[in-house]
Amino acid sequence: MTTQNIETIIGRRNDIEYLRIIAVLLLIPFHCAMVFFSYEPFYVKSTHSHPLLDYFVLFLSPWHMPLLFLIAGMSSCYSLQKRIWKQYLLERTKRLLIPFLFGIFVIVPPQPFIAYLRHYPDPSLVDFLKQYFFHIQGDFTGYTGSFTPAHLWFILYLYFFSIISVPLFLLVKKHSEIIASYLSKRGLLLLYPIIIGLAEQLPSISSKNPFYYYTYFFIGYLIASHPQIEQSINNEKAVVLSLGVLTMITYLLLIKTSFNFEKYSYLDVSFYILRKFNAWFWLMWILGYGKKILNFQSRWLPYASKMSYPFYILHQTVIIILAYYVVQWQTNIWAQFFSLVILSFIFTIAIYHFLVRKYKLCRLVFGVTDRKILGI
């Protein structure tokens, strides 16, 4: 039995843990940059912006959330290898549904409330709560102060993806050898972004298309279902880095030069395909080099691994509360941005360290388990 198989059976994939931790930690600078981003609204917006922060957001956006769903799919595969499907469903409910419900009523509301402050000069908390819970608008972003799952949409999607996928997961597990013999072929790796792009054309909920993200989740499961499939991706890591850099440069140049193509025109479709392949190239490179350089143990890994999920739940609310005050500082954009990043890291980690991890009820509502589990 190979080392990779042993790691998979016991659920210890340090490289996947590191990638998940890094992806979650990147959310701090990403959402801090959204406060200054030129192209989209947010709960708090600064009057300042900068091209470098725009590029940072545009660089991360195509592949960052897909990476989290891809890792979650891989983690589901490892989880089902060490428990029966009923145990898996119970674990998913405890780990995902309970924190989501807690977050919706306790963690999330400060974000739309601060957005509400921007639109109503003399706000009342009672008025906000009445319209927040009883007059739900169609736009679930919450940027105007209306009801929103905010960043917890990821957890809600992940819970439903996990529940509905069990029969399909078990089918893949039963026929993993046959599936791997086809999916590990080099040419088929380039079909994935086409399938992903087609899935995104299906109906969406707000701006978060469940079909699009489910495709990444299921592909993650397929990758982890057999070492041969993952190895086929690892073999291409050098090539896809070059392709990822090339397509990313093209993508950023087109975005920043305000290229506007007629919808469904040849150029519009070509640009769309470019973005899907760009995201896939970066994901292949991240998985390939992650396996190569991050497959080691460290003293802080268990702590960081357990912290990453509460960190995800807490981080955006911490950012929005701090940003409300930071953007009012009479200083330059970089002082505001880096202060917001540093303070957000400090407060989020402090809340986990001194509150969440110390009390059993807090661990329950934040989905912290006493044993190591790979996936959010």
Q: Tokens 């070509």 appear where?
A: 270
Q: Write out pLDDT tens, residues 221-271.
A: 999 998 998 888 888 888 999 999 999 999 988 887 766 777 778 888 888
The yes-or-no verdict on residue 10 having pLDDT over 50 is no
pTM score of the predicted model: 0.92
Determine the length of the chain. Answer: 376
CA–CA separation, 37 vs 40, rounded Å? 7
Listed residue (96, 77, 86) closest to 13, CA to CA: 77
Q: Write out pLDDT tens, residues 75-104.
A: 999 989 888 889 999 999 999 999 999 999
Percent of the chain with pLDDT over 90: 64
The yes-or-no verdict on residue 186 having pLDDT over 60 is yes
pLDDT band, residue 374 (cuts 50/70/90): very low
The yes-or-no verdict on residue 132 having pLDDT over 90 is no
Average pLDDT of the chain to the nearest whole number? 89
| Average pLDDT value for residue range 178-207 | 84
- Phi-psi region for residue 258, left (φ > 0), alpha (ψ -120 to 50) or beta? left
CA–CA separation, 5 vs 77, rounded Å? 13
CA–CA separation, 308 vs 61, rounded Å? 20
pLDDT of 373 reads: 41
The yes-or-no verdict on residue 19 having pLDDT over 70 is yes
Listed residue (195, 237, 242) closest to 214, CA to CA: 195
Q: SS3 string of 184-213?
A: CCHHHHHHHHHHHHHHCCCCCECCECHHHH
Helix-, strand-, coil-residue percentages of the chain, each rounded to 5 = 75, 0, 25
pLDDT of 259 reads: 65
pLDDT band, residue 9 (cuts 50/70/90): very low
For 26, how many CA atoms within 13 A lie in the half-sphere containing its CB?
16
Q: Angle, nearest 10°, between helix axes 301-326 and 153-174?
A: 150
Q: Residue ranges of the alpha helices (H) in 11-105?
A: 14-25, 27-34, 51-60, 64-81, 85-92, 98-102
> Looking at the chain, which runs of residues are DSSP E strands?
none
| Alpha carbon distances (Å) from 62 to 58, 193, 248, 276 | 7, 12, 9, 8
pLDDT of 371 reads: 52
pLDDT band, residue 68 (cuts 50/70/90): very high
Q: Write out pLDDT tens, residues 324-355.
A: 999 999 999 999 999 999 999 999 999 999 99
| Average pLDDT value for residue range 196-209 | 86
Rg of the chain in Å (alpha carbons): 21
- The residues with which 208 forms a beta bridge, in sequence order, are 205
Q: Write out pLDDT tens, residues 313-332.
A: 999 999 999 999 999 999 99
What SS3 state is found at 329? coil
- Asked whether the beta carbons of 275 and 328 are under 8 A apart, the reply is no
